[in-house]
């Protein structure tokens, strides 16, 4: 049996026991919450993908549909139109990591099986599904390709999710709902070593619930799959930082990523790659330096 920290993504694999992976965000959208419109032009998006890889992004996550609270769905055809030139460019010339360390894997952030199918035809390695297989065809599409799959916790849709934040115990309920989505993926033929889980910070979560998920990351790690945490620039940070706009939340984003890694997260999804790579290297060193059984005090 392979290690639960070896994430297989088509013909590639990330050994997450050796190093925490950093996933860099590139939104080819006009309306994403942090950088809407900045990378909509294909040439700008391609250049940004190469820049993030050069900063150390192990994966580039391309999104062609905003999933911010209140966002309206984008058709599969329009998502493909936005993604295709970028995916073609990255297939022809992969984005290179620094110091000859290989090339970044390409992830596509979509809820649509039709978009996923086309992205995989164009060489994507990972499908990052914020709906965790709400599209009934998604599991089979991913299984047939052998791609990596991120199952993120969300209730409802981006348009409705912030009306669905009632939890008796947010961590226990997120864990239970993720287990159900893993079962759905398994039934569709997706192998366990292709699956990564994401608790969905900010998706159908109030700010306090996002903080609780971060504080109890270790309980989600115990589900037995690599855990991805995406807290970068999200609105709960603004509430803690005096209302700062998205592009001024770097320090808060770094703190959230560091805490998640110390508690066992193996992938962080971020906008600010270079700074996060440096912070994560320290965080994972602290995690590995922890004694197996918690600290003990002298008698």
Cβ–Cβ < 8 Å for 111, 131: yes
Q: Can you say whether residue 172 is alpha, beta or left, with left for phi > 0 and alpha for psi between -120 and 50 degrees?
A: alpha
Place of tokens 């990351």: 217
Distance CA 199, CA 214 (A): 9
Q: Is the pLDDT of residue 125 over 70?
A: yes
Q: Which of 63-67, 101-105, 196-200, 252-256 has the lowest mean pLDDT?
A: 63-67
Q: Is the pLDDT of residue 111 over 70?
A: yes
**From 194, 234, 249, 266, active-site residue:** 234
Q: Which H/E stretch holds residue 20?
A: none
Q: How many CB atoms lie within 10 A of CB 129?
A: 27
How many Cα atoms sit within 13 Å of 126 on the Cβ side?
Answer: 30
Q: What size, in residues, is the chain?
A: 299
* Domains of the chain and CATH, by start: 18-286 (3.20.20.20)
The per-residue pLDDT for range 74-100, each reduced to its tens digit, is 999 999 999 999 999 999 999 999 988
Q: Is the pLDDT of residue 297 over 60?
A: no
pLDDT value of residue 66:
87
In three-state secondary structure terms, 269 is strand
Which residues contact residue 57 at a Cβ distance below 8 angstroms, ignoring those fewer than 6 apart? 22, 23, 24, 95, 97, 104, 273, 277
The pTM of this model reads: 0.94
The per-residue pLDDT for range 137-152, each reduced to its tens digit, is 999 999 999 999 999 9
- The yes-or-no answer on residue 19 being catalytic is no
**Burial group, residue 163, by CB count within 10 angstroms (0-12, 13-18, 19+):** exposed
- The yes-or-no answer on residue 10 being catalytic is no
**From 269, 278, 281, 287, active-site residue:** 269
Distance CA 133, CA 106 (A): 19
Q: Which two tokens stand for residue 42?
A: 């294909």
Question: What is the maximum alpha-carbon separation in the chain?
Answer: 67
């Amino acid at each position: 049996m392979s290690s639960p920290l070896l994430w297989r993504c088509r013909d590639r694999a990330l050994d997450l026991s050796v190093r925490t992976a950093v996933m860099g965000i590139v939104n080819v959208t006009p309306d994403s919450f942090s950088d809407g419109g900045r990378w909509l032009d294909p040439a700008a998006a391609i250049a940004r993908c190469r820049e993030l890889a050069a900063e150390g992004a192990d994966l580039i996550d391309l999104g062609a549909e905003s999933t911010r609270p209140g966002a309206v769905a984008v058709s599969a055809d329009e998502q493909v139109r936005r993604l295709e030139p970028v995916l073609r460019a990255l297939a022809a010339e992969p984005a290179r990591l620094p110091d000859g360390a290989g090339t970044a894997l390409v992830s596509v952030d979509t809820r649509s099986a039709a978009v996923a199918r086309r992205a995989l035809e164009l060489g994507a390695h990972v499908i990052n599904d914020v709906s965790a297989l709400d599209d009934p065809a998604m599991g089979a599409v991913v299984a047939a390709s052998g791609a990596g799959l991120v199952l993120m916790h969300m209730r409802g849709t981006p348009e409705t999710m912030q009306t669905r934040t009632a939890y008796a115990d947010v961590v226990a309920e997120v864990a239970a709902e993720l287990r159900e989505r893993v079962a759905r993926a398994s039934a569709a033929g997706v192998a366990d070593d292709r699956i990564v889980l994401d608790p969905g910070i900010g998706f159908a979560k109030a700010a306090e619930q996002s903080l609780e998920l971060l504080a109890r990351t270790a309980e989600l790690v115990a589900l037995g799959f690599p855990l991805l945490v995406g807290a970068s620039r999200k609105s709960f940070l603004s509430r803690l930082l005096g209302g700062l706009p998205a592009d001024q939340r770097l320090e808060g984003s770094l703190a959230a990523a560091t805490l998640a890694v110390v508690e066992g997260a193996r992938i962080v999804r971020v906008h600010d790659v270079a700074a996060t790579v440096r912070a994560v290297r320290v965080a994972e060193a602290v995690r590995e330096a922890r004694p197996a059984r918690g600290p003990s005090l002298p008698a």
